[in-house]
Structure 1
């Protein structure tokens, strides 16, 4: 059984919901999935002032534990077209893993959220995938085999580089069914790719 980590940062709960969908997709392909989040850099007082979701049950991850998994799927909201500072700070602490080549050959994927349709989803996904490639990981996106990527019936997030949701300027919009379906599809797809690679290494 392959081991997959869904690692996320979520301020208002949008990425948390997407992380659950990604994890369920990976589990549907037979993977053992762990969901963890990165540490919050805001104080509790500041977080409450901006309405951050403070009751997220996922445990806090440590950078070194990334080496324990066959695949890592990272979720982060967009911050000016790139990953959040909280996620960037966490990944900046993986230099030791990079120096030892601990993540080389592992599978990686990314998902995100933006406030608007053109709010930087693709550049944010690239900011995560680029770091993964520096680690020597094999990156997997959300293929057009997921029909929701070309849906014209509604406003929706999602790109071939990874699943995405649109939150609205005030964060009031929750992930739609199509967006959650895309996250589920990506999780399952990554789990299937990972399982095939693991089987190949062991044969």
Structure 2
């Protein structure tokens, strides 16, 4: 049964790790009654910032529309960490949201982030901060991961209090550890619960 409350899981994934994390974020959202989930991605951009992908993706989640972002109850945004920042395709999408900023459509809605990098100190936390900044400008409420999640303490792979993360030892490594899966699910559940509380 569908309702108007949904968490938008919005991401860009180049090698598959972020897409895999999005599935576990969605699993966490699905643990919360009265909340649906929409998984959406953004298209690649060319070096001249024009859309470099077909209107419909060849595989995976559909591309996100501004209306889907405007109407969400909460946002979980994911990107690989590129030099400590979100990937250009996701930034390009966010840069198109001025009309939502002008009309205040995202004010007081909860948001969180998730990321992946190929080294332990590959900029995961800084990437989460880069995603946080424009969302704070939109008036969104950032929701991190509290340390009540024991996997955040025991993990030797991904996981931060700023949002879920994945340590991909190679570009083809999309397998999440059990701790990373648990933290993604915890983040999805928490953002859904916060959306209901903030309503």
TM-score, with normalisation over the residues of structure 1? Answer: 0.87
Alignment of 1:151 with 2:141, yes or no, is no
Query: Which of 84, 101, 106 is equivalent to 2:104?
Result: 101
Aligned-residue Cα RMSD (Å) equals 1.9
CA distance in structure 1 between the aligned counterparts of 2:174 and 2:37, rounded to whole angstroms: 27
CA distance in structure 2 between the aligned counterparts of 1:4 and 1:38, rounded to whole angstroms: 16
The within-5 A match list for 1:120-159 is: 120-151=123-154, 155-159=156-160
Segments of 5+ residues of structure 1 without an aligned counterpart are 48-53, 199-203
How many residues align? The count is 188
Query: Which of 33, 40, 47 is equivalent to 2:44?
Result: 40
Segments of 5+ residues of structure 2 without an aligned counterpart are none
Task: Report the CA distance between 1:58 and its aligned residue.
Answer: 0.4
The residue number in structure 2 matching 1:5 is 8
Deviations 1:113-160 (A, max 9, x none): 0111100000000011111110000110111111111115xx311100
Query: Which of 63, 66, 70 is equivalent to 2:69?
Result: 66
Task: Report the CA distance between 1:42 and its aligned residue.
Answer: 5.3
Query: Which of 25, 35, 42 is equivalent to 2:28?
Result: 25
Q: 1:97 to 1:177 in 2, by over 3 A?
A: same
CA distance in structure 2 between the aligned counterparts of 1:167 and 1:94, rounded to whole angstroms: 30
CA distance in structure 2 between the aligned counterparts of 1:170 and 1:65, rounded to whole angstroms: 30
The residue number in structure 1 matching 2:95 is 92
CA distance in structure 2 between the aligned counterparts of 1:7 and 1:124, rounded to whole angstroms: 15
CA distance in structure 2 between the aligned counterparts of 1:146 and 1:119, rounded to whole angstroms: 23
Write out the 4+ residue segments of structure 1 that deviate beyond 4 Å after TM superposition.
none
Task: Report the CA distance between 1:174 and its aligned residue.
Answer: 2.0
Structure with more of its chain in helix, by fraction = 1
Alignment of 1:80 with 2:83, yes or no, is yes
